[in-house]
Structure 1
Amino acid sequence: MPEPRRRRPAVLLGRLPLPERNALLDALRAETVGGLLLLAAAAAALIWANTAQRGYGTVVHHHVGPAALGLHLSVAHWASDGLLAVFFFVAGIELKRELVTGELRTPSAAALPVVAALCGMAVPAGVYAVTAAAGGGSLRGWAVPTATDIAFALGVLAVIGTALPAALRAFLLTLAVVDDLCAILVIAIFFTSTVNVAALVGAAACLVLFWLLLHARVRGWYVYVPLALVTWALTVNSGIHATVAGVALGLMLRCTPRPRPEGTGTTAEVAGPSQAEHVEHLLRPLSAGLAVPLFALFNAGVAVSGTALSGVFTRPETLGVVLGLVAGKTAGIFGGTWAAARFTRASLNPDLAWPDVFAMAALGGIGFTVALLIGELAFASDPALTAETKAAVLVGSVVSALLASVLLKLRDTTYRRLSEDEERDEDGDGVPDVYEEDDPAYHLRMAEILEAKAAEHRRLAQLARRDSGPDTI
């Protein structure tokens, strides 16, 4: 008789059982959970910065890392240059997938979200420039309100819009990916002061080697992970923001399904997940559950007071950021979509209505993660203005999230009502009535049902009148 298996003793912070681990990883891959973690980290940063400002500043500005490699960075820089590179690596994979198999693979389908993304960056920049110039403020922050936060925006959409068309999420995802790509180009072009040519050439050589190894189908994480780290380190030392390396590496992965060896399925060849899908599946929990929340924790801590909040609406730079996110993003995304549909061959997805697009445009004003990053780069020489810009980003993102939530909830209620009407089955035959409206037998059955209900109402009314009459002996 075999001996009973002994249960492994529980270990504090040990390895989770397989079902719990899979459930946790699947939860972290959902936009809802990622958005909630990001929101919780931002709230924790605000509480920490406002209850122990000196302690928060000490941690954020503490430098660690090897100085000989040019990586003696503050904790905040490790979060924005290191952890956020993981987020943009995943964003680069999403962009590659959209270009190869998604909405961006054909010009006609990509026109609307691409034009919407470009207008959604140009109009907020213009709003900021006009506001700052009118108040005599600095124009260096023109790019701060141009960014849309993918994690937050998709998280809000997932929580609020449970009955909204799937096409709306695809539109928002494509728009946000293009927006992130343009934000990276803005960072690389406008916020790179000095360039170390040797380090930049070395990073480019590593990218080429990465691409060659991929196309030679060389396998093994022990090859690609060290090479990616070297590419990132060289990019940091080149003067270009490290998130550019993350996007570039993500764009190099293959998005076409890879065939499995013959004999592994019921057919000769069974298409397996693509290389990009596999890597994204592995890294998304790390990005959503660790990288982005830690970035928010070490970068969203702003000392908020009545004076600081009032300053957001009185200083031209911060007012420009708030107006750019709330009004500029909404007007730019909606106006760009309408103009492209009106004056080009592009057309809006038939599953969407213009109120849906307007609600999504308001959602684009959530610029939290990337807007904070650009704000740091734009006002790096002015710590006080940097802190005020962070406060403005938080205010603008919160207002946009609340406005979008109200609009999306209204649209969600409308679609939920339509869904209930489509599933209505008055005659109880198992077929929704919407599919039988042109059937004469259906109308006959409905007339019989209505007549039976009317007869029942008349009978109940007669009983009520008889019971309410005078008592008799």
Structure 2
Amino acid sequence: MPDKPTRLFSRLTPSTERTLSDILRTERAGGILLLVGTVAALIWANSAWADSYEALKSFQIGPHALHLDLSVEDWAKDGLLAIFFFVVGLELKREIVAGELRRPATAIVPIVAAVGGMAMPAILYTVVNLQDGGSPEGWAVPTATDIAFAVAVLSVVGKWLPNALRAFLLTLAVVDDLLAIIIIAVFFTDHINFLWLAASVVCIAVFGLLAAKRITPWWLMVPLAVAAWAFMHASGIHATIAGVALGMVVPAIRRKGERHALAEHWEHKWRPVSAGFAVPVFALFAAGIAISSEAISTAVSDPVAQGVVIGLVIGKPLGIVLATWLVATFTKANLDRGLNWLDVLGMAFLAGIGFTVSLLIGDLAFSDERVAEVKMAVLAASILAAIIGASMLFWRDRFYRRLYESRSNPVVGHDRMGDAHELARMIGGTVAPRPEKDDAH
């Protein structure tokens, strides 16, 4: 018997189904709060109280002896985002052990797509910044995807899209976050104090050992995590890397008698803290830029800003779709029945919403120089990518809704099935035949 042809975006593992449900539920609200934080920052920074905003951002607090006398903005960037990256680490562990990244056949698509979606923006940014006045140092800014904003947009316009396609965006974003973490660790570390790094590694190892033995009282695990973060910060490596490492050492397989694996339980517990507090507060102190006609004019003519916009709006979708097409071509895989390359393109445009990690990398790449132009470019590019992606997916969502109605209503479905087939033919898709009654159970 010949092997059945491989289908892209066809089936999900039970773990990924649960992850998808958790993320869509939590990140939808988180995306709204992230938007609120961003709007509040922009209003505050452009109001009569702009001086108080800058004063609060630069206000320093923390023990100097531990090198933690940081500004409020740095606490939000280095401290609160560690919670965000801890959840990313838990996601990665779950996906690698029990999710879509566990099986090579399903892992290859989001991994290659994520690589393509980061390589193409970096290439386009670099090409744009080869001209006079450009700055190649910011090549990593347009490579990241903001999952909270992307999921928030997807939840509004993509309610009828297949779960496998939605999971593709989430899994791609997880891999994207991993690659962004590697970029931050490798390219934005000026010096390393190996003594402090070793101390952080020891704390992370003890944290993982206690988690494996299920010895997890908060009064023990939280101080260990904070110590790992503080030592990582003192080592010269960006402190958020400690958050990822802590998440990665948490067991993702259930023990006998456990309802959920520890990684799944903690992700469910900490995701609301990340999406509902840590990331919105970071946005409040990272997105506040003074917008004026002069600032806009400067940004429009700046190769750095141009490279960021082109990278996110054009490079991201181009890289993701091209990489996915190459996987389909060389593995002779087909899109699952009913899916269309326009679906993939719409999702790829949503991946161009690069906010949280893009702003973080922008701060690391440029310090005080050109930060305003970079932030303005990230905001503009994210809005543009969201509009384009939302428009495409809204159109496709209408098709899937009509298809669902035609298959779920036998009386109306008989009349509408021809319309669904015709619509699918017009846009290049295919429609799976309506299942028989026995199959419906």
TM range (shorter): 0.7 to 0.9
Match of 1:471 in 2: none
Structure 2 residue 87 is the aligned partner of structure 1 residue 90: yes
Q: Is the counterpart of residue 385 in structure 1 residue 370 in structure 2?
A: yes
Tell me the SS of whatever aligns to 2:46.
helix
Residue-by-residue CA offset, 1:164-190 (whole Å, 9 max, x unaligned)? 110111101110000001001000000
After superposition, the C-alpha distances for 1:82-110 in whole angstroms (9 at most, x for unaligned) are: 10110110111111111111110011111
The answer to whether 1:369 aligns with 2:356 is yes
User: Does the 8 Å CA contact 2:405/2:413 hold for their aligned counterparts?
Assistant: no
In structure 1, the residue matched to 2:99 is 102
Report the secondary structure of 2:288's partner residue: coil
Paired amino acid for 2:403: L
Task: Give the aligned residue type for 1:407.
Answer: M
Shift of 1:145: 0.2
What secondary structure is seen at the aligned counterpart in 1 of 2:370? helix
Task: Map 1:35-434 to 2 at 5 A.
Answer: 35-51=31-47, 52-260=49-257, 271-344=258-331, 347-350=334-337, 352-380=339-367, 383-426=368-411
CA distance in 2, matches of 1:152, 1:48: 21
Displacement of 1:353 in angstroms is: 2.1
Number of residue pairs aligned between Structure 1 and Structure 2: 399
Instruction: Give the Cα–Cα distance (whole angstroms) in 2 for the partners of residues 275 and 211 of structure 1.
Output: 11
Q: 1:437 to 1:181 in 2, by over 3 A?
A: closer
Alpha-carbon distance, 1:217 to partner: 3.1
Q: Provide, for residues 362-388 of structure 1, a one-character-per-residue CA deviation record: whole Å limited to 9, x for no partner.
A: 0110000000000000001xx240111
- 1:72/1:420 CA distance change after superposition, 3 Å: same
Q: Structure 2 vs 1, CA of residues 172 and 427 (structure 1 numbering), >3 Å: closer, same or farther? A: closer
Q: Structure 1 residues 411 and 29 mapped into 2: Cα distance closer, same or farther (>3 Å)?
A: closer
The Cα offsets for residues 388-427 of structure 1, whole Å up to 9 and x where unpaired, read as: 1111111111111111110110110111111111123328
Q: Between 130-139 and 87-96, report the one with greater CA deviation.
A: 130-139
The RMSD of aligned alpha carbons is 2.2
TM-score for both structures, normalised by structure 1: 0.81
Query: Aligned to 1:133, what secondary structure does the other structure show?
Result: coil
Q: Report how far residue 53 of structure 1 moved.
A: 2.2
Aligned twin of 1:469: none
The SS at the match of 2:137 is: coil
What is the CA distance between 1:301 and its match in structure 2? 0.3
Tell me which amino acid in the other structure corresponds to 2:364: L
Q: Deviations over 1:288-345 (max 9, x none)?
A: 1110000000110011112222322211111000100000001011111111111135
CA distance in 2, matches of 1:228, 1:175: 27
In the alignment, the residues of structure 2 paired with residue 118 and residue 421 of structure 1 have an alpha-carbon distance, to the nearest angstrom, of: 38
1:33 aligned onto 2:29? yes
CA distance in 1 between partners of 2:132 and 2:404 (Å): 50
User: In structure 1, what residue type is equivalent to 2:390?
Assistant: S
User: 1:30-60 CA distances to partner (integer Å, 9 max, x unpaired)?
Assistant: 2221111101100000000011321111110
SS in structure 2 of the partner of residue 96 of structure 1: helix
Q: Distance in 1 between matches of 2:40 and 2:134?
A: 31
Q: Structure 1 unaligned runs (5+)?
A: 1-25, 261-270, 439-473
Query: Structure 1 residues 281, 351: closer, same or farther in 2, change over 3 A?
Result: farther
Displacement of 1:428: 11
C-alpha distance in structure 2 between counterparts of 1:392 and 1:232, whole Å: 31
Which secondary structure does the structure 2 equivalent of 1:313 belong to?
Answer: helix
TM-score (normalizing by structure 2): 0.86
User: Percent of counterpart pairs with the same letter?
Assistant: 53
Aligned partner of 1:181: which letter?
A: L
1:236 is displaced (CA, Å) by 0.9
**Deviation digits for residues 57-88 of structure 1, max 9, x if unmatched?**
11101100111111100001100111011011
Question: Which ranges of structure 2 fall in alignment gaps of 5 or more residues?
Answer: 1-21, 419-432
Assess if the C-alpha contact under 8 Å between 2:24 and 2:151 holds in 1.
no
Q: Tell me if the contact between 1:111 and 1:346 (Cα under 8 Å) persists in the aligned partners.
A: no
2:212·2:250 contact (CA, 8 Å) conserved in 1? Answer: no
Q: 1 CA distance for matches of 2:412 and 2:186?
A: 65
